[in-house]
Structure 1
Amino acid sequence: MRVGILVNLHADMDLKEKFGELKEMGVESCQLVCWDRSLLNEETAAVVREAVREKGIEITAFWCGWEGPKVWNFYEGQETLGLVPQAFRFRRLEMLLEGSDFARLLGVDNLVTHVGYMPENPYDPNYHSVIACLKELALRCKNNGQNFLFETGQETPVTLKRAIQDIGTGNVGINLDPANLLMYGKGNPVDSLDVFGEYVMGIHGKDGCYPTNGYELGEEKPLGQGKVNYPAFIRKLKEIGYDGDITIEREISGEEQKKDILMAKQMLEELIAAE
């Protein structure tokens, strides 16, 4: 397992400079995140490919956002996040299909996104509508030689496993964010590996706490200061044979973010190296 860092792609950023910072931090990989549909084109892809070539950073996944409103809580989130809300579904599907094509231009094998609050009831008509939408996306990814990965958090582990099985295209997996499972109150990340461990193809290194009310997500914390039991989590990943990257995500900015990322990197590398 290697330790990587999440990188957000913006129109005005110097990607070579950003990748240079990663190299200075001793990092060789990243997941590339983009919420700006206007950047999903060959011109941007050429810039990214050149930065990868010059700086030697491997992009292990392309994390594709989607257009429209997004509220990260338990109420408005039900109606605004991912592909579940019918009002935004097809426009967002179009962007995710473009995201898969963009990832192909980059030579990246994994496409990741948040799907939204998948209904836990498999008889819910909206559940089957979302599955049909995801099957179309997964087939585009398959044609592009890619896997489609659910970013965890908004679904229970059992609901997520059922969705993967119901999509049934053979190229659908999970980008497991252990903090998200806690922050959304959906499950324990260590135990979740007993449910869907065979589908885990990516990991976010993030920490957080359980929710303390029924309206807002739990609080994100610096890695090691939340409720994710990272020693047990890394041991379990080794037990199930996961050998991919752990990509650090810290959802703040500035010098405090860099400090927390470096602390997380050291902690993760020590846990990975331990017997």
Structure 2
Amino acid sequence: MTDVWPIGVFTSIDAGFGVHLDVVSELGIPTIQIHTPHADQRTPARAKEFLAQCQAAGITVTCVFCGFSNESYADIATTAKTVGLVPEVTRQERAIDAQLTAEFARELGCDTLGMHIGFVPEDRNSESYRDLIAVTQALLDELEEHGQKLHLETGQETAVHLLSFLSDVNRKNIFINFDPANMILYGTGDPIEALKKVAPHVRSVHCKDAVWAENEEDRGTAWGSEVALGKGDVNMKEYLTTLKEIGYKGPLTIERELSEDRAQQKIDVGEAVSLLESLRAELWS
């Protein structure tokens, strides 16, 4: 891997998210984050098989992202009701499922778990918030026993609210996977300013682009739109410049959700790789 900012992509084994592994291999991309496979695929044998594929292609798995049954990103309101550990009705079973994903990650030799934890409650004194803290702490303590850590993906909270949550969780193995496009998609804040605020906690990033919801008054209640890298409102040069300023040297993981159009996905990812390599050369020359 390149020592500074190796290129990566978000992919999956079987869940249909992210870039297909054959595209990763064809483009010669050295790192991946993966979405956890369905439960029946989270076996030592499947991990061994997938790891062998990665090793043959010179690919390193840097993070395994949790995914839970019945999550939906149909709209922001549905996302708030269904995603992550926040929904109370599924919180305990999903915490257990996250532990199983962590086991699968260990089979892949990966020490990092990723997660959209969901829309963290605003009321820090509420019973739901306090229970979310306790469940998150228990998961982190379990991960710590195995030398693992958790990266929470940004987007569903403002930077300030996310920092408050991290402070309340108060564990040394919880960090941030920063996704600038999500700040735009969810309408939760300017991505560059947010990155500067959460900088000490950032341990992994996504390189994804988006445009704000058309009407400013709809931001936070209606989706913005994901677009190809460099075509949106993130400003990738400013984003990477800020990553350099805060001392981030880890993978630049491209996320491009076009699973239904693999040909266009390959084009977009290839162009994203070229853009990131060009900016990397410019900023680290």
| TM superposition score category, shorter chain reference | over 0.9
Tell me how far apart the structure 2 counterparts of residues 47 and 28 of structure 1 sit (CA, whole Å): 18
Inter-CA distance 255–232: structure 2 relative to 1 (3 Å threshold): same
The match for 1:54 among 30, 53, 56 is: 56
Per-residue CA deviations over 1:216-256 (Å, capped at 9, x if unaligned) read 31110111111101111101100111000011111113111
Partner-residue secondary structure (3-state), 1:274: helix
2:13 matched to 1:9?
yes
Is residue 2:265 matched to residue 1:263? no
**Cα offset for 1:123?**
2.1
- The answer to whether 1:71 aligns with 2:73 is yes
Provide the C-alpha distance between the structure 2 equivalents of 1:75 and 1:139, rounded to a whole number of angstroms: 31
Q: Distance in 2 between matches of 1:47 and 1:58?
A: 14
Tell me what 1:231 maps to: 237
Q: How does 1:1-275 map to 2 (within 5 A)?
A: 1-10=5-14, 19=21, 21-212=23-214, 215-253=221-259, 254-275=262-283
CA change 1:129–1:72 in 2 (3 A) is farther
Structure 2 Cα separation of the partners of residues 258 and 110 of structure 1: 26
**Alpha-carbon separation, structure 2, partners of 1:196 and 1:11:** 30
**CA drift at 1:11:** 7.6
CA distance in 2, matches of 1:181, 1:214: 10
Q: Return 5+ residue gaps in structure 1 as ranges.
A: 13-17
The offset of 1:127, in angstroms, is: 1.5
Counterpart of 1:185 in 2: which secondary structure?
coil
Structure 1-normalised TM-score?
Answer: 0.93
Matching residue's letter, 2:12: N
Letter of the structure 2 residue corresponding to residue 259 of structure 1 = I
Q: Tell me the SS of whatever aligns to 1:153.
A: coil
Is the CA contact 2:63–2:113 (under 8 Å) kept in the aligned structure 1? yes
Cα distance in 2, alignment partners of residues 138 and 252 from structure 1: 32
The aligned length equals 271
8 Å contact kept, 1:35–1:66: no
Contact 1:73–1:217 under 8 Å retained in 2: yes
Amino acid at match of 1:44: R
Structure-2 change in CA distance of 1:271 and 1:136 (3 Å): same
Does the 8 Å CA contact 1:101/1:144 hold for their aligned counterparts? no
Q: Give the SS at the match of 2:81.
A: helix
CA separation of 1:51/1:86 partners in 2, compared to 1, >3 Å: closer, same or farther?
same
User: Where do 5+ consecutive residues of structure 2 fail to align?
Assistant: none
Helix, strand or coil at the partner of 1:65: coil
Distance 1:82 1:29 in 2: 25
* Residues in 2 aligned to 1:70 and 1:29: alpha-carbon distance in whole angstroms: 27
CA distance in 2, matches of 1:147, 1:159: 21
Higher RCO, 1 or 2 (CA under 8 Å, sep at least 6)? Answer: 2
Cα distance between partner residues in 1 of 2:88 and 2:142: 21
Amino acid in structure 2 at the alignment position of 1:271: L
CA deviation after TM superposition for structure 1 residue 76, in Å: 2.1
SS of alignment partner, residue 88 of structure 1: helix
Q: Deviations over 1:58-82 (max 9, x none)?
A: 0010112112242342222221111
**Identical counterparts, % of pairs:** 33
Secondary structure of 1:258 counterpart = helix
CA contact (8 A) 1:176 1:202 kept: yes
What RMSD over aligned residues (CA atoms) do the two structures have, in Å?
Answer: 1.9
